[in-house]
Structure 1
């Protein structure tokens, strides 16, 4: 059993639950006495660890009593939301929006959980506001009665934190649609950025919906129906977020198509005007070029009024072509 201070520094939070809704914070010594294969007489425990890159997790690997495959899943570098039964417990990976300072919300933060009847072990790589919300509820005396109840509380807090981010994206698309419908054109960069954020969020939120749905469906006799209803609520909310993100992605795509069409129409119109102007000057250029050839026999060379006659003729031809093009709505 490891008692190193380096190992203790990886402890983010730990609580013991009495099964009646009350939670007591645990120190590192109490965590060292916790083993998955030595259940407690009553209640359950939650141990939340911080994974530090390049630093081992001696308690988790050697003293927790967890299967090595479980430890490997909890400390994996990259994860996607999933729910997998394993032995007497469940492996669950979830994601939450990244609300850390200076970070992008769509760069979602993972939390990996091992859930059994008497023990919940979770591992994070970066801090999650949803976990902080859950810890604050426990410290305020509002704790769950079962391990899956703790997970349901955490899942609901994750969805609570997602909602403002998705609403902001929806409002941003509303503004883009209003701008596209008016005279001003939104920047394509903004449209692409909103669409990218929606696609990135959806990539993690969709499997999270499936993971929560699978957790609800697990035939565990230590999960009360009230907790299953909480999980169903979290699943329904995540399902709605998936639909919202798909709508945001599609609406941003439509705005991008509108921008492309408007720009193509503008360019076509400008090209058409330039072509029409060239068509007006083409016969004028032909006539002046013909009269400018350096050979004998050019009419009017000896007439002092010939220049003004030719000028008037060119103006008449130009005005006539202009009026013709205007009548045909080519200009």
Structure 2
């Protein structure tokens, strides 16, 4: 657990945890904690037991905001896209009048990238800290969206150039993750809408208006991933169409080969019959003449098929 006094974006480490019960003269306290630290923080800040239970739960928590006496409990999801797989990590936030507590089970990159912004904006209130944190989390969805779009375009190009069976697994996997992520975006959008519209005493009225920009971005993200879902459906159709075209091409080749060998089989069938007299059977060099005729027929049919664009 790391405890810092934040004043005008400057950090001052705090060692005495009991000093957190009283508001500082200037600034606010930021406690960056793990779930194990909640046993100490809960009685210190009178955190609601249900909110603490949600933090400790192994089940995936939906984004939400809960209003409790003296503090708010907010859950939002940070997003990552590593090794072609989407990861969501819950960011639990307790917002009080003179403190903000961030509780995570894994490392959240947004918390590290937030520090220079706090210094640049000279943040001295916990609600402004919350605003910049939510803003960074939502902006990262755009970056992940760009990478997903690039992956869809690359996959589409690969399918059109050379279709593989592995492409279907990639399409199904990516589409499933997009659908799963789309379900999460709805509740998260509602949380931001609440921060934007609802009368919240712990958030300054002037600052609350800025959450409207974040809400607009959240709406754009939801619409973007809706588009990605449609693109994945189109990509699957393209895959199936490509397979069908490839099968048709193979059938065209086999049909052409079968057609070419039909007259050759007819000729060899006649000369394989048990008759005493067959034209050219006892002629010197007759076999070479017959093979030449067969090659001429095969070559002529192949030329005709290509001229008709059947091959």
- Could you say which residue in structure 1 is the equivalent of 2:4? 14
**What does the per-residue CA deviation read over 1:78-116, in whole Å, with 9 as the maximum and x for residues that have no partner?**
4344223343343211122348xx877731322101234
Does the Cα contact within 8 Å between 2:65 and 2:75 map onto a contact in 1? Answer: no
Does the Cα contact within 8 Å between 1:172 and 1:194 map onto a contact in 2? Answer: no
Against the structure 1 CA distance between its residues 227 and 144, is the aligned structure 2 distance closer, same or farther, given a 3 Å change threshold? Answer: farther
The whole-number CA distance in structure 1 between the counterparts of 2:143 and 2:196 is 25
**What are the within-5 Å matches in structure 2 for residues 1-331 of structure 1?**
11-15=1-5, 25-29=12-16, 31-34=17-20, 45-51=29-35, 55=36, 57-88=38-69, 89-98=71-80, 106-138=86-118, 142-145=122-125, 147-174=126-153, 179=157, 184-185=161-162, 188=167, 192=171, 198-199=178-179, 201-293=181-273, 295-297=274-276, 299-300=278-279, 303-305=282-284, 307=287, 310-311=290-291, 314-315=294-295, 317-318=297-298, 321-322=301-302, 325-326=305-306, 328-331=308-311
Does the Cα contact within 8 Å between 1:209 and 1:238 map onto a contact in 2? Answer: yes
SS, match of residue 97 in structure 1: strand
The whole-number CA distance in structure 1 between the counterparts of 2:120 and 2:20 is 24
The whole-number CA distance in structure 1 between the counterparts of 2:211 and 2:196 is 6
The whole-number CA distance in structure 2 between the counterparts of 1:136 and 1:302 is 96
TM-score, normalised to structure 1, is 0.73
CA-based RMSD = 3.9
Tell me whether 118-127 or 257-266 shows the greater mean CA deviation.
257-266
CA drift at 1:162: 3.6
Tell me whether 64-73 or 195-204 shows the greater mean CA deviation.
195-204
SS, match of residue 86 in structure 2: coil
Tell me whether 248-257 or 271-280 shows the greater mean CA deviation.
248-257
Does the Cα contact within 8 Å between 2:80 and 2:144 map onto a contact in 1? Answer: no
The whole-number CA distance in structure 1 between the counterparts of 2:281 and 2:76 is 95
Could you say which structure has the higher helix fraction? 2
Gaps of 5+ in 2: none
The whole-number CA distance in structure 1 between the counterparts of 2:268 and 2:163 is 46
TM-score, normalised to structure 2, is 0.77
CA drift at 1:284: 1.9
Does the Cα contact within 8 Å between 1:80 and 1:204 map onto a contact in 2? Answer: no
Against the structure 1 CA distance between its residues 312 and 48, is the aligned structure 2 distance closer, same or farther, given a 3 Å change threshold? Answer: closer
Does the Cα contact within 8 Å between 2:96 and 2:202 map onto a contact in 1? Answer: no
Against the structure 1 CA distance between its residues 309 and 185, is the aligned structure 2 distance closer, same or farther, given a 3 Å change threshold? Answer: closer
Against the structure 1 CA distance between its residues 157 and 319, is the aligned structure 2 distance closer, same or farther, given a 3 Å change threshold? Answer: closer
- Could you say which residue in structure 2 is the equivalent of 1:6? none
Does the Cα contact within 8 Å between 1:130 and 1:158 map onto a contact in 2? Answer: yes
SS, match of residue 114 in structure 1: strand
